A and B are shown apart, each in its own frame.
Chain A
Amino acid sequence: GQQLNQSPQSMFIQEGEDVSMNCTSSSIFNTWLWYKQDPGEGPVLLIALYKAGELTSNGRLTAQFGITRKDSFLNISASIPSDVGIYFCAVIQGAQKLVFGQGTRLTINP
Chain B
Amino acid sequence: EAQVTQNPRYLITVTGKKLTVTCSQNMNHEYMSWYRQDPGLGLRQIYYSMNVEVTDKGDVPEGYKVSRKEKRNFPLILESPSPNQTSLYFCASTRGVAGELFFGEGSRLTVL
Contacts and interface: CB of A to CB of B under 8 A. Distances in A.
Interface of A: 1-2, 4, 6, 9, 31, 33, 40-45, 48, 88, 90, 92, 95-103
Contact of B40 (A9, A90, A96): A9
Interface of B: 4, 31, 33, 35, 40-45, 48, 50, 58-59, 90, 92, 97-101, 103-106
A75 B98 CA distance: 24
A42 B92 contact: yes
B48 A96 contact: yes
Given A42-B104, A42-B105, A98 B99 contact: yes
Contact of A45 (B41, B48, B100): B100
Contacts of A6: 42
Contact of B33 (A88, A90, A98): A98
A33 B42 contact: no
B42 A92 contact: no
Residue among B4, B33, B50, B98 having the largest count of chain A Cβ atoms under 10 Å = B98
